[in-house]
Structure 1
Amino acid sequence: MKLRLNYRTSSPHVLQAMMNLQKSDSSSSIDKVLHELIKIRVSQINGCAFCLDMHAKDLLKLGDYQDHILLLNAWREAPIYTEPERAALTLAEAVTRISENGVPEDVYDQAREAFDEKTFMELILAINTINSWNRIAISTGMFPGCFD
């Protein structure tokens, strides 16, 4: 594999803009495990190997979450996910695939039952941030280890 373009060196202003977005996302009150699960699930949907690799490793640094990673693609059938995790994952899938059905009312209601307004908006920011990172990584041909 070959990196198409190193945006970090060719367009530092893009990196800076993304780092500002990431800083806002990272300062949220979202549980760290849930935050990584969202990043992994969105990256699965988008097919971003670079981000999948990074965030699976980040989640494993938080504890023994191997089963959470292995079962995430089929999370609806796996009993290990909490109700708030399920609400956030449902929301993450809807926002990532927003052109298909928008965010249906039942998805919004489920998320709002689990999260207050502030946390709901932090979830939206987290979902949009990882979607943006995925799109940069995929467009520029990033892959696990490409910057090693």
Structure 2
Amino acid sequence: MKLTPDIPAPSGILEAALYVDDLDAAEQFYGQVLGLERIQRIKDRHVFYRVGGSVLLLFNPDQTEQPPMNPNLPVPPHGARGAGHVCLVLTRDEIAAMRKHLLDWNVPIDAEFDWPSGARSLYIRDPAGNSVEFAEGHLWG
């Protein structure tokens, strides 16, 4: 339901960010363990991954809290501390395959269950403690 008809409604989420304290560990986890396609890494500042039509941004908050260094890209300082959350879409069969794959990598499963909507979710933690969920796309209806 659109509450204000005169304001344009975004059509999706282009990117989502998580904050990590060790980019090398994050890069191994998201690139090797989860098999995401890396787009870019800039030293100890960030590493970006393609996820379908979206991008997962992994930032070192010690770097992103600093004022921008490039006047042509004046991204405001940002950062967060503590565990965040991201949910990645898989089918039920893909979630089962991912579960096996994660256990083969010795990644503990935090939780797995079916929602009242019937959608399946599987939760794990990345090396920084962020909650990573894999869920069926019909979770939200």
TM-score range, shorter chain: under 0.3
By relative contact order (CA 8 Å, sep 6+), the higher-ranking structure is 1
TM-score scaled to structure 1, two decimals?
A: 0.26
Structure with the largest fraction of strand: 2
TM-score scaled to structure 2, two decimals?
A: 0.27
